[in-house]
Amino acid sequence: MSRFARAATVFCVAAAMSTAGAVPAAAAPARQNCVPAGPVIPAIPWAQKMLGPERVRPFTRGGGEIVAVLDSGVDASHPRLGGGRVLEGFDAVAGSGRADDDCLGTGTQIAGVIGASDSQATGFAGLAPDVSILPIRVVADRIGTGTGTTPQVLASGIRAAVARKADVIVVSTITYDDNVVLQAAVSEAINNGVVVVAAVGDLGDRREVVVTPYPAAYEGVIGVGAIRESGLLLGKSQQGDYVDLVAPGENVTTLSIGGGMSTATGTGVAAGFVGAAAALVHSRRGDLREKRGGIEQQLGLTAVPSPGGTAYGRGIVDPYMAVTARLGNVSAQPLPDLPPLATGESAAWARARDVAMIGTGIAVAAVLIVLVVAVVMPRGRRRFWRSGVAPAPKRETEPDEPGPPVQLFP
């Protein structure tokens, strides 16, 4: 997320689009130096191929669900988020006002992977394209101190989302400061039946001790890490017992402000995928809505186990299985870590090496025999297979008289 924050300043241009049934966005002051709109990306993204949202479409598209995105706001004027699906929201940084505009672009990216509508021009679509997006701004337009927000602002944003009837809260911008106010706000949301999904942070590639991310580390919150296209954990995705699930988080195709598209990397966008999956389950499975922690448990039990141990939590989120599977009261167990590569030579490898060396020796001997035969046979036929006789030595006659004496010294 920070690579977009570095490109932004205090002011930002975003005009909300007024469509049929939509509430016109309030006029915003002119803002400049915002993240530029990206180009159209026609290919089907790898993350979409992995999660297979088309398999969930016959069951639910997330209609009627409200997903709160706690980030930099959401560009309501984006055509892929149109139809009045981006609500006014709340600016928790200012303490009042709307959040349906975006300058940094990160909030629009998260909203894109959650609820971007289908398009014939591109292969990209949101995982739950019929949900309503509730933007909650917790990141100031001004570049922050690196943590992105504060516990107090996050707590205010979470309470605002609960008050506005959010079904799922996606916290893509986190804090590393534990705070009783934030913990109380999270508990209030969970007690009201709201599913809270949070990124686990992007400091995993630092050599020093990585601090604990919040609210991902709180009880009842679904902490989300990020994986690469290969299925391996993204290097900067933090590891700890606060990781519950993982989702695509490297070079993920999504939306950008101003009507364009972009790619995003980090645990924040991965949290968007899990938040969308939670909204789909919430929409389809009324039996799980009534059960405290039922949706969180369903997502965990239906995740695809990853052979990387606890760094991947319970595994990779599987929206289709989460929506359709009927499970008993069992506990999912992560696969054990992959064993280290053996440094010694196994017996099987030694036998294979010996067989290969013997075979090579036989092959070389056969080639030499063929070459010898190829040279000897033509010559033998020319001599009718008779052995060759060496030519007689040349005879030289000696003179009868000796020659003149040879003077040895002058």
pLDDT band (50, 70, 90) for residue 344: low
Structure confidence at residue 298 (pLDDT) = 94
Higher pLDDT, 333 or 229: 229
> What is the distance between the alpha carbons of residues 314 and 304, in angstroms, rounded to a whole number?
8
% of the chain surpassing 90 pLDDT: 58
The owner of tokens 């039922």 is: 294
Structure confidence at residue 341 (pLDDT) = 47
Greatest mean pLDDT among 145-154, 209-218, 272-281:
272-281
> What is the distance between the alpha carbons of residues 40 and 153, in angstroms, rounded to a whole number?
34
pLDDT-wise least confident of 33-47, 53-67, 250-264: 33-47
pLDDT band (50, 70, 90) for residue 39: confident
Give φ, ψ of 91 to 5 degrees. Answer: -95, 95
Structure confidence at residue 240 (pLDDT) = 92
Structure confidence at residue 175 (pLDDT) = 94
pLDDT tens column, 14-26: 333 333 333 334 3
How distant is the alpha carbon of residue 195 from its chain centre? 22
Beta strand extents in 101-221 (DSSP E only): 132-137, 168-171, 195-199
Whether pLDDT at 402 is above 80: no
Whether pLDDT at 4 is above 60: no
Structure confidence at residue 310 (pLDDT) = 74
Higher pLDDT, 381 or 254: 254
Whether pLDDT at 335 is above 60: no
As to burial, measured by CB atoms within 10 angstroms (0-12 exposed, 13-18 middle, 19+ buried), residue 122 is middle
Closest CA to 274 of 195, 350, 217: 195
Nearest 5°: CA angle at 28, between 27 and 30?
Answer: 125
> What is the distance between the alpha carbons of residues 199 and 201, in angstroms, rounded to a whole number?
6
Structure confidence at residue 374 (pLDDT) = 78
pLDDT-wise least confident of 9-13, 262-266, 358-362, 402-406: 9-13
Those residues whose C-beta lies under 8 Å from the C-beta of residue 368, and which sit 6 or more positions away, are none
The DSSP line for 10-61 is S---------TTPPPPPP-----SPPPPPPP--SPPHHHHHH-GGGTTTT--
The owner of tokens 């909300």 is: 16
Closest CA to 63 of 126, 157, 151: 126
Collapse the DSSP code of 242 into the 3-class scheme (helix H, G, I; strand E, B; otherwise coil) and give the result: coil
Whether pLDDT at 29 is above 50: no
Those residues whose C-beta lies under 8 Å from the C-beta of residue 383, and which sit 6 or more positions away, are none
pLDDT tens column, 134-190: 999 999 765 443 447 899 999 999 999 999 999 999 999 999 999 999 999 999 999
